[in-house]
Amino acid sequence: MAVQGKVDMLSILRDELAYEGGAASHVFVVLGASGDLAKKKIYPTLWWLFRDGLLPPKTYFIGYSRSKLTVDDIKKKTLPFMKVKNGEEQKVEQFFKINEYIAGSYDSPGDFSKLNKAIEQKGSCNRLFYLALPPTVYESVTLNLKATCMSKSDKWTRVIVEKPFGKDLESSNRLSNHLSALFKEEELYRIDHYLGKEMVQNLMVLRFANRIFSPVWNRDGIASVVISFKEPFGTQGRGGYFDDFGIIRDVMQNHLMQILTLVAMEKPPTTNAEDIRNEKVKVLKSIQPVDIKDTVLGQYVGKPGGKGDEAQGYLDDPTVPKGSVTPTFATAVLSVKMRDGMVYLLYLDVEKATLNERKAEVRIQFKDVAGDIFPDGRSDELYEAWRIFTPLLNKIETEKPKPITYVYGSRRPKESDEFMADRDFKYT
Ligand code: NDP
């Protein structure tokens, strides 16, 4: 214990000395610092990187959003998500000492000048801007960053954009064109933080570095693939934001399609990002747009006699527009035509407020054995993934089909099971 304490003190002292004098090396700006993503994911991740000594020395952080906050307010919001262990209290204090917060709007050049001045005060440094913001303000924010906040001389600037990327094919294209007119491709990162998850990284290794699965990962070996995402809670008062997007845009069109491409793609020649992307795009190009008859859409209602959250149906959330038909549940079956000319069926399933479990899962059912012993530009991917879902989303928005209802906390709607059974899916 005593030795551990001594080591911690030394590392704290070392870090403090590292921040004395001289210019910053990097400044990381969180735009939308008052928001949900910032408090739950971005600040905690920055803290873990700082705690584990994984950041370049002299990296500073600036939070920016419209709310009038202080670093102390940010600290209070984010501490519950930071998993601070005993003995790390001083290090956390040190982390917040290298944080700053600036209140400003997303369309005021004057406010972005204020932000730029704050960065300049840290000296000549590399700059990263993380847009933890609703996509509606991406355009004005990136215009202001380009006009006012780019680093000068030999230092670089990076702009990180969160998914969902656009609302449909047209808005995704518009945003792509807008961003590529402002920034070079290497300055731009489109993040799907979901893909950082170990499960997804392991999928590549499981498929391509494994003598057991590689030979049977084909139509002869695999009976069906179901990719599902479930969360046991509803909108929790954030239904206003959710209603604008719905479960298909929020999870299916982006996160699940990324996983689908990793499940269905051919082996890339190398593990370089470009080679992997090319294989993923080939899969997306082979998928027809989803027809509404190939989906089951649902919306949860409150549990009769339930307490707290479970008593609340989607339409009881005061931030959800009255009579909304936005789905909170969707099952879709996609047919993928592969190089061998064969068509494979893949099921995508997204569920909000269903049975008490939170999981993201890829379920591969292998076929029974007889005898029964057992580009071109990154935005290609965006284009193809939107092409597959935009006709369905348009149909839902224009025809407003009423989703079937399911009770908060229940198992998935039986209609979804019947739908999959009708398409030869056998649950084993
Ligand atoms: P929030 O709704 O919490 O918005 C972030 C901040 O943006 C708010 O604190 C608010 O700050 C400002 N803001 C909110 N609505 C508007 C608006 N209509 N116009 C201008 N400013 C607004 O979003 P999240 O933090 O949840 O998400 C940020 C981005 O990350 C989104 O693109 C989202 O889709 C994506 N994302 C989020 C996930 C999450 O876990 N939360 C998961 C996956 C992706 P202020 O009023 O102080 O300016």
Kindly name the residue from 26, 178, 193, 255 that is annotated as catalytic: 255
Cα(131) to centroid(ligand 1), Å = 9
Cα(183) to centroid(ligand 1), Å = 23
Of the listed ranges 210-219, 278-287, 288-297, 329-338, the one predicted with least confidence: 210-219
Q: Of residues 245 and 195, which shows the higher confidence score?
A: 245
CB distance 43 to 141 below 8 Å:
no
pLDDT at 33: 98
Is 136 near ligand 1, meaning CB less than 6 Å away? Answer: yes
pLDDT at 347: 86
Cα(375) to centroid(ligand 1), Å = 32
Cα(245) to centroid(ligand 1), Å = 13
Is 108 near ligand 1, meaning CB less than 6 Å away? Answer: no
Distance (Å, rounded) from C-alpha 158 to C-alpha 225? Answer: 37
pLDDT at 339: 62
- pLDDT tens per residue across span 413-427: 899 988 888 887 776
In this structure, the residue with its CA closest to atom 33 of ligand 1 is 134
Please enumerate in sequence order all residues whose Cβ is within 8 A of that of 319, keeping only pairs 6 or more positions apart, or say none: 235, 237, 238, 239, 240, 241, 243
Given the DSSP bridges, would you call strands 222-231 and 359-366 parallel, antiparallel or unpaired? antiparallel
- pLDDT tens per residue across span 79-123: 999 999 999 999 999 999 999 999 999 999 999 999 999 999 999
Question: How far apart are the two ends of the chain, measured CA to CA in Å?
Answer: 51
The atom number, within ligand 1, closest to the CA of 34 reads 9
Please report which confidence band the pLDDT of residue 315 belongs to, taking 50, 70 and 90 as the band edges. Answer: very high
pTM: 0.72
Under the phi-then-psi rule, with left for phi > 0, alpha for psi from -120 to 50, and beta for the rest, what region is 239?
alpha
pLDDT at 5: 43
Averaged pLDDT of the chain: 86
- pLDDT tens per residue across span 250-266: 889 888 898 899 888 88
Residue 178 catalytic? Answer: no
pLDDT at 200: 63
Q: Could you report the predicted ipTM of this complex, rounded to two decimals? A: 0.98
- What single letter denotes the amino acid at residue 282? K
Is 132 near ligand 1, meaning CB less than 6 Å away? Answer: yes
